[in-house]
């Protein structure tokens, strides 16, 4: 029976039973953290071979003759550019290789627009207002970057096919203060949604009122498929679709090996039109004399090619899949048919998105923490950390063990039930 159909007496009886369960759960003294999408230590062990492909006796010369031990080559070594180009479905000339963090590249690229402008346009620091579109629920760190620069963040609803394009087109095509949009096109954080071909085409065919409008295309989960027996989500290459639409300079694409090799010691890239990259190099050549080319070289020698990337990610999926299965199974066993929550069942990525009854998310997260399970803060998946419905919660199942995940999921569903009963009783 759905909770909403229960009488007050039934709800009170249910609440009493749930409170006993909750006190028992607190007695377990759990200490589990599911706040961030981190790979587990045993999962990271599969990348240790990366440390052995280069040593003191290795030839550290790139294919183009670059001495990887010395200064130079701000573009990154060519074989690494080609590797990422093949993974992303673009051309090597459209790729710049940086350090380990794609978020760092995104921050720098926002800073360039703010301080210098793009392709000769007015720097954003000289404008009265800059607006930025934020599909939500979305990635909290994206929102924090643009909030940090003082931009006005505009929430765009997410649909099963990506951001609501009617809303996007209305803002972008009519308001010159709108300078960009955050996008996670495949297995999006946190919902796991992948953009449809129609959504990608509509994004590429925008007619921005601002000449310096940019799509920030964070392709963080481009190879992060979870289930080998399911159809792999396919998203068109945004650079080529934009070029075909006559908007070749409208997108910056980002990716990294943060959840492929080592999160703190991987390789990150930006892909864009040649004109955009030439513009970027003007300031990049002032920032650095070159990133870590030995790290680039060892990644290429370890993965070898795009197929090597994919085979490595199949190993990651073997670790991650049972954890997602456990969460989804327990959610289904404990919450299906009660009418107090819904959740995503993604084909890939790192998260499950849960929606509670309106007004319950913060209290659910608080009760979980009180009983020893730390979740991403309620509201974090929306601009300014403010979920207007107080309903969305991001579940990150990857770091704890399967046994710990089962404990955490059971506690989570218990808290969902308890907070939902209180919510419904308050309305009686």
Nearest 10 degrees: Cα torsion 99, 103, 104, 105: 80
Residue 388 has a pLDDT of 97
Instruction: Work out the pLDDT band at 51, boundaries 50, 70, 90.
Output: very high
Q: Above 80 in pLDDT, residue 298?
A: yes
Mean pLDDT of 341-363: 97
Pick from 260, 278, 280, 277: nearest CA to 268: 260
Which residue matches tokens 């954003």?
A: 124
What value does the mean pLDDT of the chain take? 96
Q: How much is the pTM?
A: 0.96
Q: Compute the distance between CA of residue 164 and CA of residue 331 in angstroms, rounded to an integer.
A: 28
b/e string for 267-279 if b means 16 or more Cβ within 10 A? bbbbbbbeebbeb
Residue 205 has a pLDDT of 98
Mean pLDDT of 337-352: 96
* % of the chain surpassing 70 pLDDT: 100
Instruction: Work out the pLDDT band at 229, boundaries 50, 70, 90.
Output: confident
Mean pLDDT of 232-257: 97
Residue 375 has a pLDDT of 96
Say whether 7 sits in a helix, a strand or coil.
coil
Domain 62-304 belongs to what topology? 3.40.640
What would the pLDDT profile of 18-42 be if each residue is shown by its tens digit? 999 999 999 999 999 888 889 999 9
Within the chain, how many helices (H) and strands (E) appear? Answer: 13, 13
What would the pLDDT profile of 168-208 be if each residue is shown by its tens digit? 999 999 999 999 999 999 999 999 999 999 999 999 999 99
Pick from 2, 397, 83: nearest CA to 268: 83
Q: Compute the distance between CA of residue 205 and CA of residue 30 in angstroms, rounded to an integer.
A: 50
Mean pLDDT of 397-411: 96
Residue 389 has a pLDDT of 97
Q: What backbone torsions phi and psi does residue 59 show, to the nearest 5 degrees?
A: -75, 115
Instruction: Work out the pLDDT band at 428, boundaries 50, 70, 90.
Output: confident
Residue 241 has a pLDDT of 98
Domain boundaries, the chain: 3-44+311-427, 62-304
Domain 3-44+311-427 belongs to what topology? 3.90.1150
Mean pLDDT of 261-268: 95
Mean pLDDT of 404-412: 96
Mean pLDDT of 377-392: 97
Mean pLDDT of 213-240: 92
What would the pLDDT profile of 307-331 be if each residue is shown by its tens digit? 999 999 999 999 999 999 999 999 9
What is the DSSP code string of 183-234?
A: E--SS-TTT-----HHHHHHHHT---SSTT-EEEEE-TTTT-B--TTSPPP-
8 A C-beta contact, residue 393 and residue 356: yes
Residue 230 has a pLDDT of 77
Helix (H) or strand (E) holding 356: strand 352-356
Q: Above 90 in pLDDT, residue 1?
A: no
Say whether 51 sits in a helix, a strand or coil.
helix
Residue 67 per-residue DSSP state: B
Residue 372 per-residue DSSP state: T
Q: Compute the distance between CA of residue 60 and CA of residue 40 in angstroms, rounded to an integer.
A: 31
Structure tokens, 152: 């006005």
8 A C-beta contact, residue 162 and residue 196: yes
Mean pLDDT of 391-410: 96
């Amino acid at each position: 029976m759905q909770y909403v159909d229960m009488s007050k007496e039934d709800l009170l009886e249910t609440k009493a039973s749930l409170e006993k369960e909750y006190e028992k759960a607190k007695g377990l003294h759990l200490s589990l953290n599911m706040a961030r999408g981190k790979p587990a230590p045993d999962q990271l062990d599969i990348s240790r071979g990366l440390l052995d492909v280069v040593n003191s006796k290795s030839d550290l010369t790139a294919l183009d003759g670059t001495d990887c031990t010395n200064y130079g080559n701000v573009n990154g070594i060519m074989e690494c550019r080609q590797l990422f180009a093949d993974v992303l479905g673009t051309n090597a000339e459209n790729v710049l290789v940086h350090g380990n963090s794609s978020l760092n590249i995104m921050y720098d690229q926002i800073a360039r627009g703010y301080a210098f402008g793009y392709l000769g346009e007015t720097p954003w620091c000289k404008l009265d207002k800059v607006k930025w579109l934020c599909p939500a629920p979305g990635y909290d760190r994206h929102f924090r970057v643009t909030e940090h620069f003082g931009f006005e963040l505009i929430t765009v609803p997410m649909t099963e096919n990506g951001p609501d394009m009617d809303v996007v087109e209305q803002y972008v095509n009519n308001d010159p203060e709108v300078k960009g949009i955050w996008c996670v096109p495949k297995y999006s954080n946190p919902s796991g949604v992948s953009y449809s071909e129609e959504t990608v085409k509509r994004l590429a065919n925008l007619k921005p009122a601002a000449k310096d409008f940019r799509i920030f295309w964070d392709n963080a989960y481009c190879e992060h498929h979870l289930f080998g027996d399911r159809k792999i989500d396919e998203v068109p290459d945004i650079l080529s679709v934009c070029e075909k639409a006559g908007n070749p300079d409208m997108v910056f694409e980002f990716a990294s090996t943060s959840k492929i090799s080592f999160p703190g010691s991987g390789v990150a890239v930006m892909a864009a039109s040649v004109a955009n990259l030439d513009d970027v190099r003007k300031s990049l050549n002032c920032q650095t004399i070159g990133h870590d080319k030995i790290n680039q070289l060892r990644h290429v020698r370890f993965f070898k090619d795009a197929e090597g990337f994919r085979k490595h990610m199949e190993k990651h999926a073997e670790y991650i899949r049972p954890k997602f299965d456990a969460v989804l199974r327990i959610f289904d066993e404990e919450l299906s048919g009660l009418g107090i929550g819904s959740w995503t069942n993604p084909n890939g990525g790192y998260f499950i998105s849960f929606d509670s009854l309106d007004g319950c998310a913060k209290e659910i997260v608080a009760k979980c923490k009180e009983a020893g399970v730390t979740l991403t803060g309620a509201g974090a998946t929306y601009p300014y950390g403010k979920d207007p419905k107080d309903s969305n919660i991001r579940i990150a199942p990857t770091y704890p063990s399967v046994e710990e995940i089962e404990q955490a999921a059971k506690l989570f569903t218990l808290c969902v039930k308890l907070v939902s009963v209180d919510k419904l009783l308050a309305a009686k």
